[in-house]
Structure 1
Amino acid sequence: MTLNIIESLIISSLLFTLSSCHEGPVIGILTEELLHSLQNQYPNYTSYIAASYVKAIEGSGARVAPILIGQSEAYYRKQISVLNGIVFPGGACLFDNPNGYADAGATIFKIAKEVNKNGDYFPILGVCLGFELLLHLANGGNELRTRCSSENVGLPLKFVPGFRNSRLYGQASIEILSILSSLSVTSNHHRYCITPKNMTRTGLDKEWKILSLNMDKNGLIFVSSIESIDMPFVGIQFHPEKNSYEWKKSQNNPHSRKAVLSARHFYDWIANEASKNEHSYPSESDKTNALIENYSVFYTGKQGASYEEVYLFK
């Protein structure tokens, strides 16, 4: 075989490899109604995304596109057709606000179930309020939560038997699982909890697998991570994005090296799961125009807000 032929084969192989490379999934983050503190400072905007979610997803090798609240079902169907996964973020909005976070989440949840039942693969990760929303929607929109006291506290996860046979933790390293189960590294900021008793009472324990439990400041046992038995939907009651990206001292977010390392697992999970479908935008310009980079980030930490930075939407 001559040198020219060998060189040609090498070049062809390199071109094939480059053309086959996946540039990374695009994950949608659902916006939500402005917090009161943000409403007072930014009256011309209607919804927001905390920048810590964007940074966490991008840190796991994915791109981010905002999903706006208050839109039509056709809008959400189009979003799911081009996105590779969705995150329902945490926050403080109510589930009964018309055309708000919960309404948009309900439509997305319905469409995502249809997509998965039809043989496609579309993951959702719910964080804190997003975790509560997933189970709220699975419960037919009926209130499921119990008042509890688990704000500004780091906790270790108490894994339940069989947790290793799960989408969420099945591929986690021994090191990550050891950190999560032995150290107070999960950042909790919630006044509502979902208890194992309420999941059993409503029959949700037959549709969702409880993976870990925790205890609030008053001794109430609550569910801290779950996943759907049939769908690639996962919920976590804590905030892994805060470990690396939220620095408000009063929040007591765990910032140790091990806390940061273990927090990466959850956004690595959604980035990996989102790579399992082939959804894409019609063109590169369509994708470019949809990305979060088209929006400005506002530094709100110095104003005493809950978040260091936010993206705002009109």
Structure 2
Amino acid sequence: MSTLSRSTMLLLGTAFSIASGFDRPVIAVMSHPYNSTHEYMAASYVKYIESGGGRTLRVPFTANSTQIEEIYKQTSGLLFMGGAATLPQAARDLYALKVKGDESGDFYPMWGTCLGFEWINQLVGEDDSIIDGMFSAENISLALDFTDAISGSRAFPEDGIVADLAGNYEITMNMHEHGVATEDFLANELLTDTFNLISTNDDLDGKNFVSTIESKSADKAIYATQWHPEKNNFEYGAVDNDKAYLSTSHSAEAVRLSFELAAFFVGEARKSDHVFEGNLKLAINERTGVLEETSFEERYVFLN
């Protein structure tokens, strides 16, 4: 019997679940507490993933182990977003499933942005105290200071457009007081065994912090940035009379960087064999409202 291509199977209507796994990746994104009754997800992360061709499934901040197992099974990757929440047990449980999957040859890429970057360092480094709370890096856009490790980077190929943009233009938006000092990262063997240190930066006081990391193993597929690629396209920080209070760049270079990284991560998710079965609600369908604010221009809110 001849082997049908994925596109042929989709046209014939035979193996929609297979097409879903490869061509319709669904990314898990953990929501954060908003108040006593609701959690939220910044809409910019949903739009960011959509710009790369993916969709988003919410991970409740207080999800139990049964919910986490089902979410892991039906999603093709995981993104921890920025915010101000403490690392929850649900995130630890989801990461534990990823580690177990990595050991058995499963492929489940993971990305962390800002707070999510910090969570990944805490999880992989097995040290919650790795996070330093003394950085002056609020509302500044920087060009990345790449290390020699960029020569083998998958997300930032040395001679590629992404490295050119991020390294030569001040378009990586930082909004953090917490972070990982470069010296602390280098002193943690679990982190240095797992990750290549792709870039560092200095804060406004000259203190050096880790800004980009990437797993040494392509099979582990872990990527994390202390900075915000999604803001370049989807967060203007507009206040009265459309005056921006954020230093986020919306130049052609900044927008291209955001798109390229979204496309890269969703492309990684397409390699996963996990299949979305449709019995869980996508974030865009589950949301109970939209809040318009300044820190995140739009927040999707969800009942606890």
TM tier relative to shorter chain: 0.7 to 0.9
1:48 & 1:299 partners in 2: Cα distance?
9
1:122-147 per-position Cα deviation (integer Å, ceiling 9, x unaligned): 01100000000001112224311221
Count residues in correspondence: 282
Q: State yes or no: 1:191 paired with 2:177.
A: yes
CA contact (8 A) 2:145 2:199 kept: yes
1:113-192 aligned at under 5 Å gives the runs 113-146=99-132, 147-170=134-157, 174-192=160-178
- Give the CA deviation at 1:202: 2.1
Pair 1:222-2:214 in alignment:
no
Using structure 2 for the length normalisation, give the TM-score.
0.86
The alignment's C-alpha RMSD in Å is 2.1
- 3-state DSSP of counterpart to 2:177: strand
Which of 284, 287, 292 is matched with 1:300 structurally? Answer: 292
Task: Name stretches of at least 5 consecutive residues in structure 2 with no aligned partner.
Answer: 238-243
Separation of aligned partners in 2, 1:308 and 1:201: 38
Q: 1:268 to 1:164 in 2, by over 3 A?
A: farther
Give the structure 2 partner of residue 74 of structure 1.
Answer: 66
Question: How much does 1:219 deviate?
Answer: 0.4
In the alignment, is residue 29 of structure 1 matched against residue 29 of structure 2? yes
Which residue is 2:198 aligned to?
211
Match of 1:237 in 2: 226
> What secondary structure does 1:240 align onto?
coil
Aligned partners of 1:206 and 1:183: how far apart in 2?
Answer: 30
TM-score w.r.t. the length of structure 1 is: 0.84
In structure 1, distance between residues paired with 2:273 and 2:6: 23
- After TM superposition, the structure 1 stretch with the greater mean CA deviation from structure 2, 18-27 or 117-126, is 18-27
| Correspondence 1:250 to 2:237 | no
Greater mean deviation of Cα atoms: 75-84 or 263-272: 263-272
Q: In 2 relative to 1, CA 16–103 (structure 1 residues): closer, same or farther, beyond 3 Å?
A: closer
Partners of 2:7 and 2:255 lie apart in 1 by 36
Instruction: Give yes or no for contact 2:110–2:221 (8 Å, CA) kept in 1.
Output: yes
Larger radius of gyration: 1
Q: Distance in 2 between matches of 1:72 and 1:113?
A: 18
Q: Shift of residue 174 of structure 1?
A: 2.6
Asked if residue 110 in structure 1 is aligned to residue 96 in structure 2, the reply is yes
Give the aligned partner of residue 5 of structure 1.
none
Return the offset for 1:103. 1.9
Q: Does 1:52 align with 2:16?
A: no
CA distance in 2 between counterparts of 1:168 and 1:178 reads 12
> Sequence identity, in percent?
27
The 2-side partners of 1:78 and 1:148 are apart by: 37
Show structure 1 runs of 4+ deviating over 4 A: 12-17, 19-22
What is the deviation of 1:161?
0.6
Indicate how the Cα distance of structure 1 residues 173 and 31 shifts in structure 2: closer, same or farther if over 3 A, else same. farther
Q: In the aligned structure 2, how far is the partner of 1:168 from the partner of 1:105?
A: 23
**Contact kept in structure 1, 2:288 and 2:302, CA below 8 Å:** no
